[in-house]
A and B are shown apart, each in its own frame.
Chain A
């Protein structure tokens, strides 16, 4: 979200899901929408039926690409070059929105200078996308009456993740597609309440509502309300926590319903770090891989056993409701935190979650008008500063949150690890339709396990042929960090030289082999590209 915050002043999906249905052009990049966000894909397909144009840029022939007016298969990690190439053509042809650029933005000159270097020849050399396709997607995006950009982790999980997002913001502003219905730059959030966790200040540098840690006025407001002295020093990101454990600076870690033993890059490293802690507390539903390393396990409850709110990807705060009583001895996570806090000498007194929401509204300007009674039925989209405010369908209408929209001249940086002689294939990771994230929830479902029971590695039949591998054969996938054994699936979805691994399966965890190199600003690891070697398993030797 750092990229959008830098360009516009706030990091969230700018427009709403329903708007996608009536826009004129949708540009999907780095999102396997029909598998990972099926109900958003539905809107996109409806738009397509109503005559909208669809552009898909994805290294794999994903399902939604078969509906595209143009699908380009850029090389892994070449997105900045691709987008700069589109802008190169747009400026050369005069398809930009000159009025929007002069009235609503700043920084176009530096960007213009940068994208001049990204000629179609250069872009083809970097991304593998041919000039005629580049020209086609630039024209479809720029010349449609209003165009929407949709992206997900395929854009952000790179060392250049923030640059990728800034590039998309550049493109949208250049064509005047901001602050209007059906336009925008729209990150699809991968988890039900990522937006809410960010909004609530589960981040080391901001309080709830993105109010900065260290800002004296903000800090004093929270100190007064909470009646306690607060630290002005920003904290550690997750990516920084593991080195801090190894250096002995971090002694205790309290993990709430997360499974870093499966979701973090470079798992061997994570296990070593977690084992080195004085105290590891895990609060979860299951004895996850992480919980098995813990000193203490606290049984929390599922979404069906508690009341509260989730915020969806379009900033809509919605009510979840208790359906059944907590199973066994498990307790609501809210109650666990309250009781622990009381034992540590700081009682937090709330009768129910609606009283926590009252405190959130009091301290968080963008949530100021959100109350449980107002979201009984449909939910409200923030910013919603007061009780009379109807919520905000799309952001940046007459003015960006930061005032003028800021163009960033972004240069192409290759991925941290590219294929070479020793590791000749490029590996990317992602989701499949039947499972979710690390599989802690979906793999407990017999119906979903019937759909897809175990992990697999997608490879182009030509590459498999070269290696003498048959479909369904078990192979070793080896990177500089580790190796896994896994069955291969031969498919034309993959380009030659690129293989794909879903990350839902603990027994063949993608993150044993992925590269932990991360974006210097957002600290997001480069899960979407690393170099691997595939080896046949010699059955005689293995016995």
Chain B
């Protein structure tokens, strides 16, 4: 049996509370507040205490999908990425880079947001990138 404690940050609001996720054999079993984090100093709110519930939710969709004949069908990573790359290039060639837009996410990490805007700006060639800070 492999037991671990990993220190991380809560994914909900902007407080940025530190939390420890506890696992046994790759299964998250519990959430604890971090005592040393300068924001929450050993406390969490009700959402924070229950974080481990949504990660392991049975409703997670973990298979790449492409719509075929009206329905979303399971495909391989290689097929889905080839398809997206080809389609984005086709639309860029046909209608220009500004016909493509990117909606980034306030839930994703800095590194993901950075690469996503780099994908928009450097690879597609458009500044059509925004996220839902406004909403």
Q: Which residues of A contact B (CB under 8 A)?
A: 1, 17-18, 36-40, 42, 188-205, 207-208, 213, 222, 226, 228-231, 233-239, 241, 244, 249-258, 260, 263-265, 278-279, 281, 284-287, 291-292, 294-299, 302-306, 308-314, 316-331, 333-334, 336-341, 343-346, 348, 353, 356-357, 359-360, 377-379, 433-436, 441-442, 444-448, 451, 522-525, 527
Say how far B22's CB is from chain A's closest CB, in angstroms: 9
The 9 A-B pairs of least Cβ separation, nearest first, read A312-B16, A328-B62, A308-B109, A189-B14, A235-B127, A445-B53, A313-B14, A202-B104, A38-B45
Which B residues, 57 to 89, have Cβ-Cβ distances below 8 Å to chain A?
57, 59-67, 72, 77, 80-85, 87-89
Contact status A434-B133, CB under 8 Å: no
A317 contacts across to B, CB distance below 8 A = 110
Contact status B116-A337, CB under 8 Å: yes
B12 contacts across to A, CB distance below 8 A = 191-192, 436, 441-442
How many positions in chain B have a CB within 8 Å of any CB in the partner chain?
Answer: 100
Contact status A294-B67, CB under 8 Å: yes
If the complex has contacts A200-B117, A348-B118, are A444 and B59 also in contact, measured as CB distance less than 8 A?
yes
If the complex has contacts A233-B127, A286-B60, A320-B109, are A278 and B91 also in contact, measured as CB distance less than 8 A?
yes
Contact status B134-A524, CB under 8 Å: yes
- The yes or no answer to B55 lying at the interface (CB within 8 A) is yes
If the complex has contacts A310-B16, A320-B8, A320-B9, are A346 and B123 also in contact, measured as CB distance less than 8 A?
yes
Contact status B54-A445, CB under 8 Å: yes
| Distance in angstroms between the alpha carbons of A37 and B127 in the assembled complex | 32
Contact status B17-A39, CB under 8 Å: yes
If the complex has contacts A340-B85, A448-B50, are A194 and B133 also in contact, measured as CB distance less than 8 A?
yes
Nearest-CB residue, chain A, relative to B52: A304
Q: Would you give the 0/1 interface string for B26-69, flagging 1 where the beta carbon is closer than 8 Å to chain A? A: 11100000001111100111110111111111011111111100
Contact status B127-A204, CB under 8 Å: yes
Q: Would you give the 0/1 interface string for B1-34, flagging 1 where the beta carbon is closer than 8 Å to chain A? A: 0001011111111111110010100111000000
Contact status A208-B135, CB under 8 Å: no
- Enumerate 9 A-B pairs (CB-CB under 8 Å) in ascending A order: A190-B13, A231-B98, A252-B88, A286-B60, A310-B109, A324-B55, A329-B77, A444-B59, A448-B47
